[in-house]
Amino acid sequence: MSHVKLYIPGPVEVSPATYAAMSAPMMGHRGKGFVDLYAEIQPKLQALFGTKQQVFLSTSSAWGVMEGSIRNLVKKKVLNCCNGAFSDKWFDVSKRCGKEAEAYQVEWGQPVMADEIDKRLATGEFDALTFIHNETSTGVLSPIAEIAALKKKYPDVMFITDSVSGFTTVPVNFDELGIDVLLTGSQKAFALPPGLALFAASAAAMKRAETIDDRGYYFDFIEFRANGEKSMTPSTPCISLIYGLKHQLNQMLTEGLDNRYARHARLNGMVHEWVRRNGFEFFAPEGYRSKSLTCVANNKGIDVAAFIANLKRDHSLIIDGGYGKLKGKTFRISNMGDETDESITALIGALDDALSKL
Ligand SMILES: *Cc1c(COP(=O)(O)O)cnc(C)c1O
């Protein structure tokens, strides 16, 4: 099927093999077929998350679990670490959930840093924090291990981590990090269509949730746990996406996680090389650049809309023209999911051609 190939940072390109896997026949979600499917993928998800805890399947986009984490875990006050569109929005969502919230705001393009978080948690005001591992709007990868290490110092603070666009492109080991929630979504590096979020929660997180009255229903962690113990979900799940997930998990484990991380680093490096060769700059500082996408600073002042129009017209592919207030000032190129050396080589050829026609 001819179509416009996606090099935007989500949704990303979905392979024909994944679509084929998703077309398996429908079944009841309380019957043996679904229970078997759930039980089959659960240990694979646990291997991927690096956890002995259950990994839950939420029929929602990632924001459902991002909001749900706030509702399940914040009692006193949440510290929202903000360095881009998604993390800034989480601060807004915390307030909309009726919670006391404070932003630790850094300039878009910068990482959030452990010492700054430490200073704020030291006030004793907070019982939760939100943190985005890979800020997709700016292409910034914040130092997750250093931030997670603070958990030892602040055991009563819930460390809620979004790795929606970082997960499976770089190692993230839930139990080793010792964080409380790790959440991700299907349409980024999993290379599935949107509509499924995945998350793990610590024993401490479950304990906290038990003490909170207004958790609601759809994203109630206690409901997820009770149903998960029976290899089920609280409500009717997106079964087709879960068939796709099973396929993608098998692909990932066949490739090997270390090979998968190495592939993302290598393909990201190829895009970086294109950026340098063409005299562009990176929006994120060295050492904090995402491995799943590249946020290119438009220091040369090219017409980004025309550039993307060229890509679409002559190469049937698109990249992203910059998120929100960064529109035109940056552009973003995704290399996450099922991309290969061949596909990224072809992308780079297309980028060169489209640039030369401006
Ligand atoms: C895409 C994304 C989200 C939001 O995902 P939805 O699927 O739109 O809910 C959240 N955080 C990050 C870092 C993302 O990249």
State which of 216, 238, 253 marks the end of a domain.
Answer: 253
Exposed (0-12), middle (13-18) or buried (19+): which is 119, by Cβ within 10 Å? Answer: exposed
Distance 193 CA to ligand 1 centre (A): 13
Q: pLDDT digits over 279-326, tens only?
A: 999 999 999 999 999 999 999 999 999 999 999 999 999 999 999 999
Judge if 49 and 195 occupy the same domain. Answer: yes
333 shares a domain with 216: no
Mutation to probe ligand 1, out of 6, 66, 70, 188 (largest number of atoms < 8 A from CB): 188
The rounded Å distance from CA 13 to ligand 1 centre is: 16
**Same-domain status, 219 and 308:** no
Distance of CA 321 from the midpoint of ligand 1 (Å):
17
Which of 164, 219, 334 to mutate to test ligand 1, by most ligand atoms within 8 A of the CB atom?
A: 164
Q: Give the position, in ligand 1's atom list, of the atom nearest the Cα of 63.
A: 9
CA of residue 62 to ligand 1 center, whole Å: 6
**Same structural domain, 161 and 265:** no
Distance in Å, CA 86 to ligand 1 centroid: 7
264-280 per-position pLDDT tens digit: 999 999 999 999 999 99
Q: At which of 204, 222, 253 does a domain end?
A: 253
pLDDT at 2 (0 to 100): 80
For a mutational test of ligand 1's pocket, the pick from 140, 162, 292, i.e. the residue with the most ligand atoms closer than 8 A to its C-beta, is 162
267 and 200 fall within a common domain: no
Asked if residue 63 has pLDDT above 90, the reply is yes
CA distance 120 to 140: 21
Mean pLDDT in the chain?
98
Q: Determine the average pLDDT of the residues in 161-185.
A: 98
How far apart are the C-alpha atoms of 249 and 171, rounded to whole Å? Answer: 15
**pLDDT tens digits along 82-140:** 999 999 999 999 999 999 999 999 999 999 999 999 999 999 999 999 999 999 999 99
Which residues constitute the domain of residue 298? 5-12+256-356
| Nearest to 63, CA basis, from 187, 174, 226 | 187
CATH of the domain at 276: 3.90.1150.10
- Domain-ending residue, one of 223, 253, 283: 253
pLDDT band at 185 (very low <50, low <70, confident <90, very high): very high
CA angle centred on 120, ends 119 and 122, rounded to 5° = 70
Distance 63 CA to ligand 1 centre (A): 6
Q: Which residues line ligand 1 (CB under 6 A)?
A: 10, 61-63, 86, 132, 134, 136, 162, 164-165, 185, 188, 194
- The answer on 306 and 178 residing in a single domain is no
102 and 232 part of one domain: yes
- In three-state form (DSSP H/G/I as H, E/B as E, the rest C), the secondary structure along the chain is CCCCEECCCCCCCCCHHHHHHHCCCCCCCCCHHHHHHHHHHHHHHHHHHCCCCCEEEECCCHHHHHHHHHHHHCCCCEEEEECCHHHHHHHHHHHHCCCCEEEEECCCCCCCCHHHHHHHHCCCCCCEEEEECEECCCCEECCHHHHHHHHHCCCCCEEEEECCCCECCECCCHHHHCCCEEEEECCCCCCCCCCCEEEEECHHHHHHHHCCCCCCCCCCHHHHHHHHCCCCCCCCCCHHHHHHHHHHHHHHHHHCHHHHHHHHHHHHHHHHHHHHHCCCEECCCCCCECCCEEEEECCCCCCHHHHHHHHHHHHCEECECCCHHHECCEEEEECCCCCCHHHHHHHHHHHHHHHHCC
Q: What are the two backbone dihedrals, phi and then psi, of residue 316, each rounded to the nearest 5 degrees?
A: 50, 40
From the CA of 132, give the closest atom in ligand 1: 13
Per-residue pLDDT at 1 exceeds 70: no
Region 41-62: what's the mean pLDDT? Answer: 98
- Which residue has the CA at smallest separation from atom 2 of ligand 1? 164
CATH number of the domain that 27 lies in? 3.40.640.10
Q: Residues 208-217: what's their mean pLDDT?
A: 97
Indicate whether 165 and 279 sit together in one domain.
no
Return the percentage of the chain with pLDDT > 70, whole number. 100
Atom 7 of ligand 1 has which residue's CA nearest to it?
A: 61
**Are 249 and 267 contained in the same domain?**
no
State whether 238 and 317 are in the same domain. Answer: no
> Is the model's pTM score more than 0.85?
yes
Distance from Cα 18 to the centre of ligand 1, integer Å: 21
In this structure, the answer to whether residues 61 and 110 fall within a common structural domain is: yes
Mean pLDDT, residues 205-220 taken together? 97
What distance in Å separates the CA atoms of residue 23 and residue 6, rounded to the nearest whole number?
Answer: 21
The number of domains in the chain is 2
Report the C-alpha gap between 134 and 354 in whole angstroms: 28
User: Are the beta carbons of 198 and 38 closer than 8 angstroms?
Assistant: no
Specify the residue with its C-alpha closest to ligand 1, atom 5: 62
Residues 203, 324, single domain; the answer is no
The pLDDT score that the predictor gives to residue 4 is 98
